[in-house]
Each structure stands twice: as C-alpha cells, then as structure tokens.
Amino acid sequence: MSMNSADLINNAEKEWVWNETPLLKVRGLSKQFGAGCIHCKQPTSDEQEGSRCQYCGSIWACRNLSFDLYPGEILGVVGESGSGKSTLVKCLYFDEETTVGEMSISSYEDKTSNLFEKSAQQKRYIRNHVMGMVYQNPLLGLRMPISSSGNIAEKLFAADHYHVGSIRQRAADLLQKVEIPLARMDEPPKNFSGGMQQRVQISKALANNPPLLLLDEVTTGLDLSVQAKVLDLIRNIQRELRVAMIVVSHDLGVIRMLADRTMVLRQGLIVEQGLTDQILEDPRHPYTQLLVHSLL
Amino acid sequence: MAYVAVTGGQEAIEEANGLAHFYRVKDTTPSLDIESIEKQLRLLVDRVMGEGGMYAPEYAALALKQAEGDPAEAAFLLRAYRSTLPRNHYSLTVQPVDMRVIRRISSSFRDIPGGQMLGPTYDYTHRMLNFSLRQESNEDMIAFAKEYTDAAELADGSLTFKKVADLLREQGLMAKAAKGKSEEQEPFDITRQKMTIPTTRAARLQALTRGETGAMTALAYSSMRGYGVVHPTIGELRVGYAPVYIPYPYSSEGGDDCLYIGELMLTEVETINSFKQDAESGNVQFLLGYGLCFGQNELKGISMAILERSLETEGTAPAQDEEFVLTHIDSVESSGFVSHLKLPHYITFQSSLDQIRKVQVQKAQLKPEEDERDANNRAEAEQPQENIQHSRV
Amino acid sequence: MQTTEQKQNNHKRTFNTAEYNFAFLDEGSKREIRRKSLKAVAIPGYQVAFASREMPIGRGWGTGGLQLTLSLLGRQDTLKVIDQGNDDSVNAVSIRRLVEETSGILTTEETAQASIIQSRHRIPEEKLKFDQILVLQVPQPEPLRKVERREERTRIQHAEMDYSAMWLTLYESIVKWGSITLGADYPVMVHERYIMAPSPIPRWDTEKLHQSHHLTLFGAGREKKIYAIPPYTNVQPLEFEDYPFEVESFDGLSCRHCGSMDSFLDEVVDDEAGITIHQCSDTAYCRQQQERIG
C-alpha cells in the first residue's frame, strides 16, 4: 500500500527496448449484437454478405478480426460509422463483452492467456494497469463534477497508491504534460472546454503508465485548431513515453498524422491493412480507394 | 437541559403510551366495535390488508382501531404480527378467472362478453358530503340493506366470466402465456428471502402487491404524465372473490389433491399497452400490464399494472427503474425510516461538530495563503481556456 | 421488580406473552437469522442478505439489531440495550422492554454482566470480553451508497474490490477541506477485503472494533443485511499515508460527573450558566467511574 513518487516518475521514463514480440495479439475477435439465430451462428468473412442477419436482424459488428500491435507503435483503425471500429476498441477495453475471440498482452501474466476469459476482477486490473482508454465523449472517461486531480487519483487508487502528496505530485506532472494549468488541477472537468476535457482524459488514461492506450475518435467534434493541438499532444506522448496506441477514427487526416500502420474496416471486416503511407498512397481495395479519394 | 430529557426514558414511554391511549378514548363513546370497522370502513380495511401483506379483515380492523385510523400504522401492525407466524403452506396459484365477480369493466371495448358490470364503485357518484349520514341509524342501515336485497334480481347462472385478455389471446392479439411455466412451483417468497436486484418476476409482483397505494399511484402517474412511457388502456378491471386451495397436506408424493381453505376478495387489473413484434414468432402483439391486490383497491391495482409494465420497458424514467420503484414503495420501510429521524442523533452530530470545528481551525490558519491562491485562480480563469500555463503554484 | 411493574402497567401492555412465541419471532425465522449470522462471521465485513421480518418497532428504529438479538437469545442470557451510550434513552428502553416482555429474560445496565449488548451509535467504553456479543443497529449497511446509489452496482464493486470511488471521496474532501471530514459511520476495511460501514458509531469507537475480543454483529432490518466482525479481526479505518485517521478530540475536557478524561463526551448546554459542559455518553461507564471514586 505504499507509493513512492520517485518510482512513478522513473517508471514513466523507463528504458524502452525495441521488441519483436507483439505487445497485443488479437485473434478471431467477433462481436454480435442481438440474440442470433441458426442462420447467423458464425460470422461470415464474405465481403459480399452484410453484417446484418436477414432472418433475425442480429448484427456481427466485428467479424473475425486478427491483428498484432507492437510496443510503441500506433495502429490506426479507419472506417465509416457502423464499420465496427468503435466496437472493436470497446471489446479490447472490456466495455463490451466479446462474443468470440482471443486477446493476449505480452506484459501481462504469462503473455499468452486469453484475456477475454478472465474474471471481472482481473479484467478490472488489466483496465487499470495495462490499458488506458480515451473516449470520444469525455463523459464516459471522466467524472465531470470531481476535481481533475481526483480523476487521475481514481486511477492511482486502483493501483494501490494511498499517499495524497505523491498522488498530487503525479497528477500535477500528468496534467502539466497535457498542458493543463496547474492552478486548475483541482477544478472539475465540467468547467473546462472540450479540448481541455479531452486532455484531462488523456492524462487520466496515462496515470498508471499503461503500455497500451486506446483512443476512440478523440478529436471528433473539436474545433480544427483544438484538434491539431490534441493530435500534437498525442504524438508527443507517444514519442516520450513509447506507449503503444490504437487510434480509431473516421478521419483519414487523423490517421495520416498519427498512425504507423492502418487497418481499414468495413461492415465488421478488415478489408485492407498495411503501412499507413502505403494505404494512403496506393490503396488496393475499392472501398479504401473510395475513402482516400473522398479525402482528397 | 432540555437536550438530555431523554433520560428518564422508562417513565417517559409509559406516560406517552398512557397519553396515546387517553387520546384514543377521551371524549368519546361507545368504543368502536371491530365488526363495524371491518364492514363500514371496508375500503380502508382492504388497503391495510394489502399493504400489511396479510388477508385478515378482522385483524386489519383491529389494527385500524388500535392505530386510531392511521393506515400506515395499521399496515405496520399487521406486518409485525405476521412476523410471528410460521409459513405453513404455499397455496396453489389463485386463478382470478374463477373469480365470483362483483364488478368488472373494460375501457378498451364498448361491450365485452358477459357485459360490463359496474358493481360497487364511487366512480360516478358526485362527491358531495352526504349530511344525512349524520343521522343514519342502525334501523336505517338494516332497512336499506333489506330493501336492496329484496329488490335485487339474482343473476341467472354463473358470476364467473372469461377474461378479456384471454379473448385477445384467442384472436392472436396478445401473447399466449408461456407454456410449461403454468405448472405449480413454490414461488420466490420476499418475506422469506431478500429480494435482490435484478429480481425475479415473482418477487417483483409481490413487492408491488404489498406496496403503498399512494406511493404507487404517484409513480404510476409520473409514468403516464411524461416521466415514462406507459399510458395504458384498461383491458379489464375485475373485483371479486377467488377461491384459494392448498395442496392436500397428507397426499402421497405427486398427488394433485387439494384442499379449499376459503376465498379472498381481490382486485385484478389487466392493461393493454403498445404492441411489439415477438422475436421468435414474428407476431405483432399487444403487451399486457398486470396488477393484483387484496380487497377492492382499484387505484392500486391499476397503478401496479402500470408499474409492472413500466418495469418491463427499458428507459431512464424513475418508474422504469426496478431498484428505485421496488425499494421505495414499501410503506413499513419508508415510513419507518423517515420517522426514525425523531430518534436522538446526538452522537453522530457530535462527530460532525468535531469535524466542522477542525475544518474551521484549519481554514482560519490557511486564510492568508488561500486569499492569494484565489486571486491567482481568478487571474487564471480570466485567461483564455486554451492558454498554456507552466508555472507552478 | 418485574412483577410490580407488570401490575402497574397492565392496562398499557400491548403484549400478552402467552400469545407469542419465546422472543417474538417464530423459530423458523430465528433459525434463518442465525444461519445468516454464521455466514456473516465466516466472511468478515461481507453483507449477507436476509429476509428481515417486520418487527413491532419501526423500520429504521433498530429492527435489524432486534432481530439479531431475539434470534440469539436463550433463557439464560442477560441483555443490555443502549442508545447513544445511554441505557435510559427512550429507544433503548423501548427495545429492552420489548425483549423483556416477549422473552422474560434478565436485563442489565452493567456492561460486564451482559451476555448480549444491543446498541445504537455507541460501543461501550468498557472493553468487551470474548463471551460477550455486541449487536449494532445499522441504518445504512452499504458504505458505498454515498458514491453509488444502485445496490446492483455496489454488489459488483464489492465483489471486484473496486473501491476507487470511495477513496476518491476521501481525496476530494482533503482537496476541498484540508482533511477527511467524515464524521460518524467512518468506513473501515475489514480483514483486508471488504469496506464496511461500522454503523453510525463515532470515530472514537471505530478503533474498538480492531482485534477485539468479542464478536460484533451488525443488523440492518430495513435494508435486510447482516454482517459481522469476528473476534481478533483486522479493522482499519480508511486513511491515507499522509492523512491519518483521527478520532474526535476532547482535549482538555472531562466529564462533569465522573471527571473522566478518556471517554466519549456529550456536549450539554447549561441554560443557567450559559456555558457548554460535558458528560460521559456511556452512562453505565460514568456511573462505574463515579462509584470507583466514591
């Protein structure tokens, strides 16, 4: 039950070593909404078939998704609304229960066990120690009436830190990193602008130095100038902390700016994936071509 | 020294009890006899039995006499008495379709097979104080009752009627009762097990049927008025006597003998709500709301049917929140907890006093620093929000 | 003494003992409550749901404690009942009389002589022994209710040991007021597992629950929960490393009757002198101290 603020800071800046082992491995992730029927027991991987069952109306929002994420890498997930990209990150963060599939994280336990099968208590531990999540809607990630420092403290309590002085130091450091004036660290996020709320959310997600950060449409709905600032901040954090990220966006501009590699999702299927530059310069799949051209 | 007047508790309580007794009997004779209360305050007795969770008109009347007519207090007396009784049997499912009906109406149809039957109701009486009741004598009462019975034509045949909901079911307009579930099984019993949320349907219906009439009416009203989605049509409201059977206690294993133990007066309400498509069959059907309570208590029956339906729908209105509705409609619990505020609380208050004094001292010491920080905060707040400030306070 | 009292109050008596089972409740109900109490003892600090019977006293007036007491009572037991530390407080008297009338067992005001002590808001100053059981009345058994109003959610939070929200309120209190400002019913961690509401006892009494010699049972009648702290269990008030838990301070104050400087004091305003004076909240303890001084 003890915390040493020096430890926290050292952890944050620990040596990052290139590693060929993926940090995150996802295999065959599928998510169905609705009761399902005999016609839609399995998700099809046929692009010609839609994700909605014509018999019972159930939807396979994610169909058999498999991918890896390496330490320190940013993976972009792009697609129009309804493509399953938000459902994907919600499954990874256990906000949605995954229907079938496996996920392992190399920094957790034996590196290979399927995290979707863990108990609720273990999932909570993983959410608090191994992952951070930033939602499009800050209401989901922040307690609006509680102080900003308290929002960060909440994450630290979950990791057994109970020294108010050290917690406040850590909160101050994190808020400073996301450029929130320290004099406002005890103000509740409800007093803040949308851009500031998003930055507080990012600092909260980083509280326990997770190796993996999930960002779901974090700049959607923000003014363009504010968007640019938040994106800058995310890049700086990635450089400084070497945290691996999955960035979900419908906006190819955001993907272009942040992602090393990109997956294109359509109707719950990965239709194309590869280096971001390659996908943007030389899209192969007709759907990706459409997306890229509509951007231009 | 008034604050420590709680000492001398023993004598104080005895005096208070004596005084309460005195207030009940002073300046009045004759003593109300229990039968008069039971018969002449029939609707109040019904309400108390329902909220007390015990069908015993005589005891309810006794409770009302003892409680000087306070229905919450009377229901409480019944509940407390009920706690001393062992649970010996569970009855077979009471079938309101077998009810000997005294009143039966449907607002959904102009006419229903068997006919609308207004029965005893104040629905269409003008609410004017009837001053002649001041002079009503025993003889008047007897004479009226005799005259009324003599004049009444006894209905031919049976007074049991098919239910309107069953007629809708026959026409495929309402889902049939799920098969296999009609078998007799021992219900979840909220008087023997704590109800946990989300709860079973059996527990939910029990909690509603014991709920406080006023509280349920308020919540049902909120749902109809705009804080909710349920605004039904009454398919059928029936009041009457339904027979109660228990399994024959000495029958061999699996035997289906049963024993008639008497009848209950019940109010049953079935409401018709919006329709939906059944996921399995694909049929489009009306949704039923169900209310059932002891005695003639129509307001509660209807409110229960609304709340029951409301709790089956998803949404954020108070009346759709199972935990909110079921944990706050019980009269014994709500009235008990609200009135417990009358108990002395000076220990907890002392604990708060200690904290406020401590904070006052701390705040006083911090005062100069605080003022400075407030000033900084104000300056900060006046800057554009996106402005970046690296300085530390 | 009991017989004279019986005669005196015959017309006011609501109970005829012969019409009721020993100790009011039927034996089946008592058995259920004892079973649930055993479960509570086996899982310290965990709230065990029970059906909770309606009692002849108001819900919220100690029905949970009363059910525990009545289910535990044998004919050889001696009961003490206190409210706010006081044997003579109206509610204590009312509960004591109910138990006397329905069971005919002996009652006492002497803490040491009681085998069962039912209390509201206080733990006696005199240290309880291993053969005594303390029954505390609980208005709100759920310590997390302040931060989460849904029972459905708080059950999950306990199961997952998800206590961040609780700690957050303590943190916010420090940010806002400079210290943790919770008064009575100060949340405790029991056996390093469950956060528990110790009932609205003052912080002064909280430490008496830690590694105690006696069994403490908590009964919440309205909320239908029983929980327990078995003897020799760790009970830690929630505190931060740099903001330790503090009990109420009576620095420099003493009881006007017995002169005690180390008991929980009630504040009393002396109307005539217009000053605040103090006296022991635990009346039995105060009397004992006075007798000792002579």
SS3 sequence, A12-45?
Answer: HCCCCCCCCCCCEEEEEEEEEECCCCHHHCCCCC
Q: Is the pLDDT reported for residue B2 higher than 50?
A: no
Kind and range of the H or E element at C128?
none
**Cβ under 8 Å to B: C residues 263-282:** 264-271, 281
Q: Is the pLDDT reported for residue C14 higher than 70?
A: no
Touching subunits of C (3+ CB pairs, under 8 Å) are A, B
Q: Do A150 and C156 touch (CB under 8 A)?
A: no
User: Half-sphere exposure of residue A192, counting CA atoms within 13 Å on the CB side?
Assistant: 28
- Averaged pLDDT, A152-159: 93
Nearest by CB: B350 against C28, C97, C267: C267
pLDDT for position B385: 35
Three-state DSSP state, B181: coil
Q: Is the pLDDT reported for residue B180 higher than 60?
A: no
- CA A104, distance to chain mean position in Å, is 15
pLDDT for position A263: 95
Choose, out of B376, B377, B386, B391, the residue to mutate when testing the contact with A (most A CBs < 10 Å): B386
Q: Do A184 and B376 touch (CB under 8 A)?
A: no
Nearest by CB: B366 against C58, C150, C178: C178
- Averaged pLDDT, B287-299: 95
Alpha-carbon distances of B220 from B17, B47, B326, C189, rounded to whole Å: 38, 17, 13, 41
- Which residues of C participate in catalysis according to the annotation? 45, 255, 258, 280, 286
- Of A100-109, A120-129, B293-302, C17-26, the one with minimum mean pLDDT is C17-26
Residues of B in contact with A179 (CB under 8 A): 388
Q: Do B385 and A182 touch (CB under 8 A)?
A: no
Could you give the residue ranges of the DSSP H alpha helices within B256-345? Answer: 298-312, 322-328, 331-339
Nearest by CB: C240 against A124, A147, A163: A163
Chain A residue with the nearest C-alpha to that of B387: A181
pLDDT for position B7: 56
Query: Angle A194-205/A224-241 helices, nearest 10 degrees?
Result: 20
Q: Is the pLDDT reported for residue B378 higher than 60?
A: no
pLDDT band at B282 (very low <50, low <70, confident <90, very high): confident
Q: Is the pLDDT reported for residue C13 higher than 60?
A: no
pLDDT for position B5: 36
Give the model confidence (pLDDT) of B92-145 as tens digits. 999 999 999 999 999 888 888 888 888 899 988 888 889 999 999 999 999 999
Q: Is the pLDDT reported for residue C4 higher than 80?
A: no
Choose, out of C13, C54, C93, C179, the residue to mutate when testing the contact with B (most B CBs < 10 Å): C54
pLDDT for position B257: 84
- Averaged pLDDT, A221-248: 88
pLDDT band at A3 (very low <50, low <70, confident <90, very high): very low
Question: Residue C200 is encoded by which pair of tokens?
Answer: 């609205």
Question: Residue C222 is encoded by which pair of tokens?
Answer: 């309205």
pLDDT for position C9: 41
Residues of B in contact with C103 (CB under 8 A): none
- Averaged pLDDT, B270-274: 89
Which one, of C241, C188, C239, lies nearest residue A3 by Cα? C241
Q: Do B344 and C91 touch (CB under 8 A)?
A: yes
pLDDT band at B279 (very low <50, low <70, confident <90, very high): low
Q: Do B343 and C91 touch (CB under 8 A)?
A: yes
Q: Pick the residue with more confidence: B20 or C273?
A: B20
Give the model confidence (pLDDT) of B215-254 as tens digits. 999 999 999 988 988 889 899 999 999 999 998 878 766 6
Which one, of C84, C65, C60, lies nearest residue C202 by Cα? C84
Contact A28, A268 (CB under 8 A): no
pLDDT band at C149 (very low <50, low <70, confident <90, very high): confident
Chain A contact residues (CB < 8 Å to B): 35, 56, 172, 176, 179, 181-184, 192-193, 195-196, 226, 229
For every residue of chain A, DSSP letters joined together read ----HHHHHHHHTPPP---SS-SEEEEEEEEEES---GGGSS----TTS-SB-TTT--EEEEEEEEEEE-TT-EEEEE--TTSSHHHHHHHHTTSS--SEEEEEETTSTTS-S-GGGS-HHHHHHHHHHTEEEE-SSHHHHS-TTS-HHHHHHHHHHHTT---HHHHHHHHHHHHHHTT--GGGTTS-GGGS-HHHHHHHHHHHHTTT--SEEEEESTTTTS-HHHHHHHHHHHHHHHHHH--EEEEEES-HHHHHHH-SEEEEEETTEEEEEEEHHHHHHS--SHHHHHHHHHH-
| Cα C36 to Cα C228: distance, rounded to the nearest angstrom | 10
pLDDT for position A143: 93
Q: Pick the residue with more confidence: A112 or C215?
A: C215
pLDDT for position B367: 66
Size of interface A-C (CB pairs under 8 A): 52
What domains lie within chain A, and their CATH numbers? Answer: 5-295 (3.40.50.300)
Q: Do C12 and B336 touch (CB under 8 A)?
A: no
| Cα A1 to Cα B342: distance, rounded to the nearest angstrom | 42
Q: Is the pLDDT reported for residue B154 higher than 90?
A: no
**Cβ under 8 Å to C: B residues 340-369:** 340, 343-348, 350-356, 358-359, 362-363, 366
- Of A72-81, A90-99, A280-289, C268-277, the one with minimum mean pLDDT is C268-277
Question: Residue B356 is encoded by which pair of tokens?
Answer: 């406020």
Q: Do A164 and C171 touch (CB under 8 A)?
A: yes
Of the CATH numbers 2.30.22.10, 3.40.50.620, 3.40.50.12780, 3.40.50.11310, which one belongs to the domain with range C2-143+184-237?
3.40.50.11310
From B389's Cα to the closest Cα of chain A, the distance in A is 5
Which residues does residue A104 pair with via DSSP β-bridges, in sequence order?
A25
For every residue of B345-359, DSSP letters joined together read -HHHHHHHHHHHHHH
| Cα A161 to Cα C167: distance, rounded to the nearest angstrom | 10
Over its C-alpha atoms, chain C yields an Rg (Å, rounded) of: 20
Q: Do C179 and B358 touch (CB under 8 A)?
A: yes
| Cα A157 to Cα C6: distance, rounded to the nearest angstrom | 59
- Averaged pLDDT, C164-172: 94
Q: Do C168 and A157 touch (CB under 8 A)?
A: yes
Domain residue ranges in chain C: 2-143+184-237, 146-177, 249-294
